[in-house]
Structure 1
Amino acid sequence: MSRADSPRFFASRARFVLRYTALTACLGALLLAFSGPGPAAAQTTKQVPETRAEIQYSFAPLVRKVGPAVVNIYARAEVTERRASPLFDDPFFRRFFGDVFPGEARKRTSQSLGSGVILREDGLVVTNFHVIKGADEITVVLSDRREFDATILLQEERTDLAVLKIDTGGEKLPHLEIRDSDELEVGDLVLAIGNPFGVGQTVTSGIVSALARTALGITDYSFFIQTDAAINPGNSGGALISMDGRLVGVNTAIYSNQKGSGGSVGIGFAVPSNMVRTILDGVDEGSVVRPWIGVSGQTMTSDLAEQFGLPRPVGVAVTDVYPDGPAANAGIRIGDVILKVGGREIVDEQALRYRVATRPLGGAARIEILRGGAHQVVEVPMKAPLTQPEPDLRDMRGQHPMSGAQVANLSPAFALEHGLDDMARGVVVLKVTRQSPAARVGLRPGDVVLKINDDTIDLVSSLEPALMSAKKAWRISIRREGQVLTTEIKG
């Protein structure tokens, strides 16, 4: 046996390592004592568990406190479907006859399940919009198995949130307080509580994996908390809880590598509680009205950041400012770069929409911009979307290509209400009757009419005269999905 393999050599080397480690620790402690706490230590009081007792904790006291405020939701809807003979489903038959035999209309009951959170003791429950979408009957089941019929007070597809009300005859229910979701940090412990797969209330734990996830396309206000706490089908609408027992998010979606048919893979998303707060305010007011400043822009890329002299790609380059909107009146111009709103960094356009939408109406936000290489701060009032011009809805009739289309004037408020571009101006097509002249020329809902021949169309009142003045041909220009399309129709 060589000297390096002998037990005595290993023992002496181990003693040397221990003494060296102890000496290093002492020197580190002395340096820390003389230099004082660093910036990171001064900013946080959170500590990693160090002892065995600290590691062997239990969430049981927390779950006992918050669990009764999380409910199960069962939604039922009656849907009509057509069932035909199996012969009509044969590919050979359909090749020649298509759908000329649609089959017999039958009704069936569609059921969905999800979760919800009681946020007020009088029975106010928040859940996801997709859990109760189209429901004819909604039942809320408490953790003690009592069942109540629920009514919908407010639902908003844009945020995938809905508010329900149950009548308990005056009994006060356990409920959760809302915490400021901006206080969360990556690495914070959280609990996800819900009813996955209909098995009953389940609690899973994890950490906040990421904040401000925006490029998801789940809602119009894409700004999510990401967590690795297990979230499965049925958890939708359930609670994401911080360690102080308050609501920080409503569990909404999961990432699945099986095209939506799989379960949790450790990537779940929750609507932040600050967005939940806005929809609760909407219940008190009768409708949800969020601040609107009237800007749109382009998310900063590496190439753009270099052009603007930014050290890294952050912010939104303003490409459009709505005339007479809050941002325009505050002095924001095309070409400015919005860097922060209320002290919060803006990483992309979705983050800008979220930061504005979650601020209270009536106040003002300090918005930091970059203009000409210099940083500036402007105060932008938080106002409701403009309601002018009036919609002036009309069903177009007559001997012209737009006959059969329903049109309206666009205002920011009208556009947001109908899921349209709130920065668009002019006349929008809302509906197109089948087999009408408007349908035959290819008009679609959402098209914005820009010009008829040489006439600029800015209001519905200018559309009809422009159509009627042309008898032999109409050259129509529209904006569709960011592109301008022009076609000419002969009379």
Structure 2
Amino acid sequence: MRRTLTWLPWVLLIIVILGFLGWQFMQKPKAPIASDGIKMPAEKVEPLINTTRTGGVVSYSEAVKVAAPAVVNIFTTQKVKQMNHPLLDDPAFREFFGNELPDQLKQGPNENSLGSGVIVRKDGYILTNNHVISQADQIVVALHDGRRAVAAVIGTDPDTDLAVIKIALDDLPVLPFKLSGNEVGDVVLAIGNPFGVGQTVTQGIVSATGRSDLGINTYEDFIQTDAAINPGNSGGALIDVAGNLIGVNTAIFSQSGGSMGIGFAIPAKICQQVLNSILKDGRVVRGWLGISLLPSKQDDILVPEQNGVVVADVLRDGPAAKAGLKRGDIIMSVNGEAISTPAQLINYVALQVPTSTVSVVVNRGDESLTLSVVIGERKSQSNKDKQFIPLPKQ
């Protein structure tokens, strides 16, 4: 009797384990069986998005480590001009000072401003905004590693609000251009020196691409982002999560002067084009037709249900006038490329080499004409400044 009681708990334990394993087996999903009795493979659910591209990111520190050293702070000094008081020309007044005026009476005070820039070549070339350095008497560049250097202006392009400056330092970090592949929804980081507090990184997404007709620059193809951009960020870098340069921050839409989640950056492809042109020719050479265009919204009213842009005016003796374009013509295509907005036409023509010939298709009333236009060279124009703020000087 005792021997039976000794083995009974072990037998019961084995029975419980076997029962539990059998229950687990019964809970496993079984492959569906078709009407003909053949077992079908279990359904495989695919993810809705590529999680290797967007999932699992908990830190952007590696991208910042790559990009931050190549983003610089720019300090500029401008001597303020002030009108001489009539007393300064009075002989008695000058005699009081022994004909030697105090320094503070000889010249105005200095005005300091802040901005940012991006090192794009190891030999010291830096991209920044033209409005950051346009009025500067001296430009000082402060690197992430603590070094400082006085910069020289190599060339400027007010039409895109870009400028190239150069410093003479060794072992410089460089930020590579990423010319394409940026999509709405991609995570981006803005690096700059907002309000002079020091290098700062903010995070957001690409809100839109190809923004134009904003009245900020003559040539517009902006990346819009909600990454916080403020005064002092101007000329700084907009990077992707791999640390590549996708744009140079240049403007914000603001009613208060601070970030409202609508910032604009000049795409890397335009930055590279301007850089190469300035280094080659000392200026940016662009094609020109010699016409003005109606805004896109008016085009939609005048030419509904079709593409094309309306010629508002034709400059006398300009390339378009010589080719026979007239006011009211609707430009449908250039060299076979369909035109739908004024910005698209302006940007396309700007890339053409002066003296080259393009084929322009226009609608004039019920008639379609093909005209050959010899491209002219466009002269640089100043930036416009409306409610869009080109990140004002701090």
State whether TM-score is above 0.5.
Answer: yes
After TM superposition, the structure 1 stretch with the greater mean CA deviation from structure 2, 56-65 or 366-375, is 366-375
Measure how far apart 1:81 and its partner are.
Answer: 3.8
Measure how far apart 1:139 and its partner are.
Answer: 0.9
Q: Does 1:337 align with 2:336?
A: no
Q: How does 1:38-437 map to 2 (within 5 A)?
A: 47=49, 49=51, 54-81=55-82, 107-168=108-169, 171-180=170-179, 183-258=181-256, 260=257, 263-280=258-275, 281-301=277-297, 305=300, 307-310=302-305, 315-322=308-315, 326-327=319-320, 333-339=326-332, 346=339, 348-359=341-352, 369-370=362-363, 382-385=375-378, 413=379, 416=380
Q: What is the alpha-carbon distance in structure 2 between the residues aligned to residue 364 and residue 178 of structure 1? A: 31
Measure how far apart 1:134 and its partner are.
Answer: 1.8
Higher-RCO chain (CA-CA 8 Å, sequence separation at least 6): 2
The C-alpha deviation readout for 1:38-81, integer Å capped at 9, x for no partner, is xxxxxxxx945489x92334322222222221111111122234
Measure how far apart 1:123 and its partner are.
Answer: 0.4
The C-alpha deviation readout for 1:423-460, integer Å capped at 9, x for no partner, is xxxxxxxxxxxxxxxxxxxxxxxxxxxxxxxxxxxxxx
Residues 374, 61 of structure 1: CA spacing in aligned structure 2 closer, same or farther, 3 A cutoff? farther
SS of residue paired to 2:108: strand
Residues 190, 368 of structure 1: CA spacing in aligned structure 2 closer, same or farther, 3 A cutoff? farther
Q: What is the alpha-carbon distance in structure 2 between the residues aligned to residue 359 and residue 343 of structure 1? A: 14
- Residue segments in structure 2 that go unaligned for 5+ positions in a row: 1-42, 86-103, 384-394
- Residue segments in structure 1 that go unaligned for 5+ positions in a row: 1-28, 34-45, 85-102, 386-412, 420-491
Measure how far apart 1:317 and its partner are.
Answer: 0.6
Q: In structure 2, give the amino acid aligned to 1:291.
A: G
Q: In structure 2, give the amino acid aligned to 1:221.
A: Y
Residues 60, 319 of structure 1: CA spacing in aligned structure 2 closer, same or farther, 3 A cutoff? same
Residues 144, 364 of structure 1: CA spacing in aligned structure 2 closer, same or farther, 3 A cutoff? farther
Residues 219, 343 of structure 1: CA spacing in aligned structure 2 closer, same or farther, 3 A cutoff? same
Equivalent residues of 1:70, 1:115 under 8 A apart: yes
Q: What is the alpha-carbon distance in structure 1 between the residues aligned to residue 287 and residue 324 of structure 2? A: 17
Equivalent residues of 1:70, 1:118 under 8 A apart: yes
Measure how far apart 1:382 and its partner are.
Answer: 5.0
Equivalent residues of 1:71, 1:118 under 8 A apart: yes
Q: What is the alpha-carbon distance in structure 2 between the residues aligned to residue 158 and residue 64 of structure 1? A: 32
Residues 109, 238 of structure 1: CA spacing in aligned structure 2 closer, same or farther, 3 A cutoff? same
Equivalent residues of 1:153, 1:164 under 8 A apart: yes
SS of residue paired to 2:271: helix
Q: What is the alpha-carbon distance in structure 1 between the residues aligned to residue 249 and residue 264 of structure 2? A: 6
Residues 308, 135 of structure 1: CA spacing in aligned structure 2 closer, same or farther, 3 A cutoff? closer
Measure how far apart 1:285 and its partner are.
Answer: 0.7
CA RMSD of aligned residues (A): 3.9
Equivalent residues of 1:308, 1:373 under 8 A apart: no
Q: What is the alpha-carbon distance in structure 1 between the residues aligned to residue 224 and residue 314 of structure 2? A: 32
Q: What is the alpha-carbon distance in structure 2 between the residues aligned to residue 342 and residue 240 of structure 1? A: 33
Q: How does 1:466-477 map to 2 (within 5 A)?
A: none
Measure how far apart 1:287 and its partner are.
Answer: 2.2
Residues 175, 364 of structure 1: CA spacing in aligned structure 2 closer, same or farther, 3 A cutoff? farther
Q: In structure 1, give the amino acid aligned to 2:250.
A: T
Share of identical aligned residues, percent?
44
Q: What is the alpha-carbon distance in structure 1 between the residues aligned to residue 246 and residue 153 of structure 2? A: 23
Residues 282, 340 of structure 1: CA spacing in aligned structure 2 closer, same or farther, 3 A cutoff? farther
Measure how far apart 1:329 and its partner are.
Answer: 6.5
Measure how far apart 1:232 and its partner are.
Answer: 1.2
SS of residue paired to 1:120: coil
Larger Rg over CA atoms: 2
